[in-house]
Structure 1
Amino acid sequence: MGEDGSRQGNGQKSAGEVLIVTGMSGAGRSTAANALEDLGWYVVDNLPPQMLKPLLDLTELAAGVLPRVAVVVDVRGRDLFSDLPEAMRALRERRQIRLMFLDASDEVLVRRFEAVRRPHPLQGDGTILDGIRLERARLTAVRESADVIMDTSTYNIHQLATQVSDLFSEENAARHTLTILSFGFKYGLPPDADLVADMRFLPNPFWNEGLRPLTGEDADVREFVLAQEGAEDFIAAYATALRPVLAGYQRENKRHSVVAVGCTGGKHRSVVMARELADRLAGVPGVAVRVKHRDLGRE
């Protein structure tokens, strides 16, 4: 395969992208599949791993007709599901295939199953939690081989669909998408953060009466934060440190990462520094940079 994954070894064009969607039952696979379908992906649900190779053959025969195919593979396949790690290894030797793993905490998964009043597919005569623990054990190897791991514990269905759209929309031609997320520590750490930076070493504009009602999106706050001792040194050093990380993510085919930038309330310092960091990283080759402010506007 060429470096861009666009040709097979025999010189024939590949059919395009193939994404395997799997993960914990109740973590949002159906929502993710629907979001992908809305983006124009051809989605196949509940496919046994043994059928992945014939499907791959079909996508190559139908080159151009099925440019992007997403396949949902999960424990509903019962004993057949155990063949997924081996099937993925064999297919990746032949072609670039991505795997997205959806996860959530045990507590959240139990709550979701109780809300819909359905049993876990693996619980048998036990409890929902028994089924979750058994499934988690079976999925360990699959999770470790994933290109994208998405923790959906704090997402509703609309937020999950938005995340999937951000990751897999056709306009995202970059090899890696970096989300720089500002947040407030008092509201908790973002569960899907790959790296966390703490801006509480800088003076808090909250204690300046003129700046308190403003946010990090306002010029006065931005000027105040960036003028503080250590602000420029940190942002320059952190941007420099992240460049080899982002290059390595691309080499390892990690498609998405989240750098969380926090302060006390997620309103002033983190917002300024997240935006500034994004500006410093905007020119990194192969990387699309997005900025999101999780807690901006919260009281």
Structure 2
Amino acid sequence: MTDTAMSEPGPQTVPEGIPLLDARTPRIPPPVNEILIITGRSGAGRTNAARALEDLDWYVVDNLPPSMLPALVGMMSPEGGGVHRLAVVVDVRSRAFFADLSAALEQLKSAGASHRVIFLDADRETIIRRYEANRRPHPLQGAGTLMDGILAEERMTEALRRTADEVIDTSKMSVHDLTRHIRDVVAGEGDRPLHLTVESFGFKYGLPLDADHVLDVRFLKNPYWVTELRHLTGRDEPVAAYVLDQPGARQFALDYADLLASMLHGYLTELKPFATIAVGCTGGKHRSVACTELIASRLREHGYLTRVVHRDMGRE
């Protein structure tokens, strides 16, 4: 009688190009689709709300007929690099189609598409004042008065207002107030990081037009007049050492970066997610380059996303 040994399992094979995963391989869950319906009364700020969402990298569709909403949501990517955050502005500009919005929202609910409805509102006096300022007719005004259009819209939207997930009264809000409120409503977007650019430049080529801060480092001795350093740049160690080892130079650059770091968060508070710090010397090759590299490094230590640009290096 012959013993039959259990055979060892052979090596696993997978189709070419497909990686073999085991239990230790982290699995990244696909991004969750988010859907916002922006609606409300004309003159209450829908356009500004849509712009705020666009700035937060949402895909925004304005003035969509409600009947097209389920089809648009159905095109969102379940995984991969497609659209995962969709904001749709739906309002009475779609005229008779607006009556289809409730049915479209019910269709989304039945399909399991989670969504939120944000209703923008304002009192009649504010809406009238805004329309008089921009001199445009109300979409429901027709041959009547502005008040006729406002009252007609109130009747059409009242039921939707009662069922909205979020009602924002913009009567006493500025454009910036509304933008901040939209950021608060959209979960997690209040922590959007500030993106900094530290840019070296040469004064003889002109100031950077988009600079928020300009630092002049021409008070430092110029390596250009040192023959063995002239052909190098501020990114080369001999030049950086020559510039930053001058009495007080290194500490000046670090103190400047620390001073900036203490107030840069205010840019986010004021809805500016980008800031540019320009550092200039005569030609933009030696002193400004060395100081730019050090300032950027210090700002990174403070936790800011910082990129470096040397605008005029190599231009001579």
Q: TM-score, normalised by structure 2?
A: 0.49
Q: Does the CA-based 8 Å contact 1:36-1:43 persist in structure 2?
A: yes
Q: Which residue does 1:19 correspond to in 2?
A: 36
Displaced runs of 4 or more, over 3 A? 12-15, 60-64, 169-173
Q: Does the CA-based 8 Å contact 1:42-1:69 persist in structure 2?
A: yes
Equivalent residue for 2:129, pick from 75, 98, 111 = 111
Query: What pairs with 1:189-228 in structure 2 (closer than 5 Å)?
Result: none
Q: Which residue does 1:148 correspond to in 2?
A: 166
Aligned-partner SS, 1:99: strand
Q: Which residue does 2:46 correspond to in 1?
A: 29
What is the identity, as a one-letter code, of the residue corresponding to 2:49? A
Q: Does the CA-based 8 Å contact 1:46-1:77 persist in structure 2?
A: yes
Query: How many Å separate the matches in 1 of 2:102 and 2:159?
Result: 7
Bigger radius of gyration: 2
Equivalent residue for 1:99, pick from 117, 128, 147 = 117
User: Which moves more between the two structures, 30-39 or 159-168?
Assistant: 159-168
User: Any stretches of 5+ residues in structure 2 without a counterpart?
Assistant: 1-28, 192-316
CA apart distance, 1:60: 3.8
CA 1:64/1:75 → structure 2, altered by over 3 Å: closer, same or farther? same
Aligned-partner SS, 2:76: helix
Query: How many Å separate the matches in 2 of 1:78 and 1:28?
Result: 19
Query: How many Å separate the matches in 2 of 1:65 and 1:170?
Result: 20
Equivalent residue for 2:67, pick from 15, 37, 50 = 50
CA apart distance, 1:168: 1.2
Of all paired residues, the percent bearing the same amino acid is 49
CA apart distance, 1:24: 0.1
CA 1:138/1:63 → structure 2, altered by over 3 Å: closer, same or farther? farther
Deviations 1:120-160 (A, max 9, x none): 00011111111011001001121122100000000111111
The CA RMSD measured in Å over matched residues stands at 2.0
Query: How many Å separate the matches in 1 of 2:101 and 2:145?
Result: 26
CA 1:135/1:142 → structure 2, altered by over 3 Å: closer, same or farther? same
Q: Does the CA-based 8 Å contact 2:31-2:79 persist in structure 1?
A: no
What is the identity, as a one-letter code, of the residue corresponding to 1:116? N
CA apart distance, 1:92: 1.6
Q: Which residue does 1:87 correspond to in 2?
A: 104
Query: How many Å separate the matches in 1 of 2:80 and 2:95?
Result: 31
Q: Which residue does 1:124 correspond to in 2?
A: 142
CA 1:64/1:98 → structure 2, altered by over 3 Å: closer, same or farther? farther
Query: How many Å separate the matches in 2 of 1:56 and 1:13?
Result: 17
Query: How many Å separate the matches in 1 of 2:101 and 2:171?
Result: 25
What is the identity, as a one-letter code, of the residue corresponding to 1:119? P
What is the identity, as a one-letter code, of the residue corresponding to 1:83? D
Query: How many Å separate the matches in 2 of 1:140 and 1:121?
Result: 17
CA 1:63/1:98 → structure 2, altered by over 3 Å: closer, same or farther? farther
Q: Does the CA-based 8 Å contact 2:63-2:90 persist in structure 1?
A: yes
CA 1:98/1:64 → structure 2, altered by over 3 Å: closer, same or farther? farther
Matched, 1:159 2:182: no
Query: What is the aligned length?
Result: 162
CA apart distance, 1:66: 1.1
Deviations 1:229-284 (A, max 9, x none): xxxxxxxxxxxxxxxxxxxxxxxxxxxxxxxxxxxxxxxxxxxxxxxxxxxxxxxx
CA 1:52/1:99 → structure 2, altered by over 3 Å: closer, same or farther? same
